[in-house]
Amino acid sequence: MEGGKCRKARIAAGSVAPMPLRLYKVEGLLEGAALSKDLVSKAQQLASEIVSPITDIRATEEYRRQIVRVYVKRGLKKILG
């Protein structure tokens, strides 16, 4: 954060694709923007659309998508304080 705006963002997700992946589109959405509730919601939605989770014995695809949304929100809220 610099001057109330996100200077640089790095977000990665695991267990939602064949390999851990960087969420470059979410990072691009955040960089240069002032963090707000609306922006956090957009980041959550975009993150859940980017991932390609599977259903297996550990979790369903829907659950994994929801968890991505939850952790994106938690991470951004932690930055906001």
| Domains in the chain with CATH codes | 12-80 (3.30.390.50)
pLDDT tens series, the chain, 81 aa: 888 899 999 999 999 998 999 999 999 999 999 999 999 999 999 999 999 999 999 999 999 999 999 999 999 999 887
pTM of the model: 0.91
Let me know if 13 is exposed, middle or buried by CB neighbors in 10 A (0-12, 13-18, 19+): buried
